[in-house]
Chains A and B, each alone.
Chain A
Amino acid sequence: MGRLLATFGAATALLLARAAGAATDFDWSVDLRAVSSDGTESRLDGGLGKLRYDSAHDGLRLGEARAGLRTDLTETMRLNAEAVAYGDHDVNAVDLTEFYVDWRPIPHSIWRSRVKLGAFYPEISLENRLRGWGSPYTLTYSAINTWIGEELRTIGTEYSLDWLGRSNGHSFDVSFNAAAFGWNDPAGTVLASRGWGLTDRQSTLFGRFANGGHPYPERTVFYDDMDKRAGYHAGISANYRGLLEFHALHYDNRANLAPYSARINDSTWETYFDSLGVRYTPTAGLTLISQWLHGRTFAGLGPPINAWSFDSEFLLASWLHGSMRYSARYDRFASQQTASSFLAYVDNTYFGDRGHAWTLSAEHRFNEHWDMTLEALEVQSWVAQRGIDSEYGGLDIPLDQRERQYQLALRYQH
């Protein structure tokens, strides 16, 4: 079903573009990796490791192959589609990560409205600013943006009202946005079961793979709507001369905890959070980014209802010098289950994690098509559910783990 929909979506986009004879931007990229990792089993294989690649899955890997399409439906309305393949065992070999129409009328005054309709990312990440929601700074995303890529997608509509001060003699722009969405009722599942992670593996719109939540090895659908109740997010952003950019957003999927879905073998998850982000560019070439996110998630019919709180922040510094870009990031993260309905089944363990990670990367750009990136990542973490005894279906490994991953990526983009 998912594969059909994905294929249908991509084909529709291409047909619409051809039919309209419209101007179309099409770009694609392929990223091959040589990976060395001592990580414990990754979420992609049902484990509680923090990394994308574990010690059983390193070597030569497909980082990603992606294609992006932007085609004009009218002068001010565009169709945007992003397709990706990761070469892992997702049920769909190729799938979509975003598919939406945006309307962006040409401003006639300092105020401009914008509307998006479809499946797209909320305006949270200051790190993932390339086409395909990639990061220009490091291969692996921060813990916060890893989670956003794994579990969040706005499937609905978003309205933005922009105050274009910079086009009218002022030094800054301000933007307000609000969205209503569905199909995000499982959001929180990954965070609650595995805790935070550091990967660059975005979940696709129709994709599925094993849940990391030992002892719950069910397969998870990421985007589903069981409660027929819309969620919302609302935010504000401001930009001062390109020097300082600020984003704040409140998210609440407003899930009703009652419905249970046989399809995802789980009930809804109510998740809400606040997020802040700042990007500072003090001099040409130097970029500093920090994001903070704090929220809670709830699941189950209770009593008691299962509850978790989670928070993370990171600081990233990146220096662009000629054809080289050097980046360093420090992440800190924590999640903690505060109420449990299933203690008896999981060795009396409240789920939770805490830890920190360092990511260092250097990228060399050969020309407009080819670049190469070397990245080293070390994450030190404590995860309560690692200790669940095997008789409860747990891993029974030490709670504290230090995981290291080295990647050399060769990328071609067209």
Chain B
Amino acid sequence: MACTVLAAPAQAAAAAALQVTVTGADGKPVEGAVVIAEPVGGAAHPAVNAKAVMDQRNLMFVPDVLVVQTGTAVDFPNSDQVRHQVYSFSSAKPFQLALYAGRAHAPVVFDHAGLVTLGCNIHDSMVGYIWVTDSPWFGRTSANGTLQLRDLAPGEYTVRIWHARLAETGPQLQARLHVEEGSAATANFRLQHALKAELMHHGADKKWADY
């Protein structure tokens, strides 16, 4: 998807922090956008002993999108009454968890950067995403469309924006900016395309049977 930055990132002064704002094509704040600030030419920083959880509740992955640093061990508990069979065939982390309920499997370590799309082989309607990044500076925008990244090392950054409802695979918006020591940079992104419709979930209320 060819999106570009309409409002170029502005730069300002103060401590090494970066505030990112994402607005939609309609001008409204966009919640849940993945923001990753990658140091240009920087070495990878695998996380040490980092842990995260991707739960399964009411036939949904919770959260729908998880962002983790390379090396993070992600636990996949199943909080539903029915069993799930989680898989990914994404190149960043192909894996599968044999049919299970509760906490039957050891956490999965995500050791390569990239987007991992999750599915459940029993419930085809379940879709989840794990963004794996080498950078320690990442997050998702809040309801007002903003995300504050702190303690950035001074230098050049590529800021990448991705949203599940713009779909497809790679980052859809990116911009380069310079973060100076003792400054507070801001970057404003405006999506060029409207977000796709929200995923609709069926059957969380009853014993649903997929064909």
Contacts and interface: CB of A to CB of B under 8 A. Distances in A.
Contacts of B211: 123, 237
A320 B198 CA distance: 17
B124 A106 contact: no
Nearest to A108: B89
A173 B207 contact: no
B168 A169 contact: yes
Given A242-B201, A365-B205, A167 B99 contact: no
Q: Is the interface of B mostly helix, strand, loop or mixed?
A: loop
Given A109-B89, A241-B199, A243-B200, A130 B207 contact: yes
B107 to A, nearest CB: 19
Contacts of A129: 202-203, 208-210
A79 B58 CA distance: 24
A264 to B, nearest CB: 29
B167 A170 contact: yes
Given A166-B119, A243-B197, A243-B200, A131 B87 contact: no
Residue in B198, B199, B207 with the greatest tally of chain A CB atoms within 10 Å: B207
A72 B25 CA distance: 48
Contacts of A131: 207-209
B85 interface: yes
Contacts of A281: 200, 202
B82 interface: yes
B94 A171 contact: no
Contacts of A239: 124-125
A106 B87 contact: yes
Q: How large is the interface on A (under 10, 10 to 19, 20 to 34, 35 or more residues)?
A: 35 or more
B83 interface: yes
A287 B205 CA distance: 14
A287 B169 CA distance: 29
Contact of B96 (A106, A170, A242): A106
Interface in A99-120: 104, 106-110, 112
Contacts of A365: 205
B127 interface: yes
Interface in A249-264: none
Contact of B82 (A25, A76, A110): A25
Residue in B118, B209, B211 with the greatest tally of chain A CB atoms within 10 Å: B211
B115 to A, nearest CB: 8
Nearest to A158: B211
Nearest to B120: A167
Interface of A: 23, 25, 27, 72, 75-76, 104, 106-110, 112, 123, 129-133, 136, 162, 164, 166-171, 173, 237, 239, 241-243, 281, 284, 287, 320, 365, 413
Given A167-B118, A169-B168, 19 more contacts: A104-B121, A106-B87, A107-B87, A107-B121, A129-B202, A130-B209, A132-B209, A164-B124, A169-B115, A169-B117, A170-B167, A239-B125, A241-B199, A242-B125, A242-B200, A243-B200, A281-B200, A284-B198, A365-B205
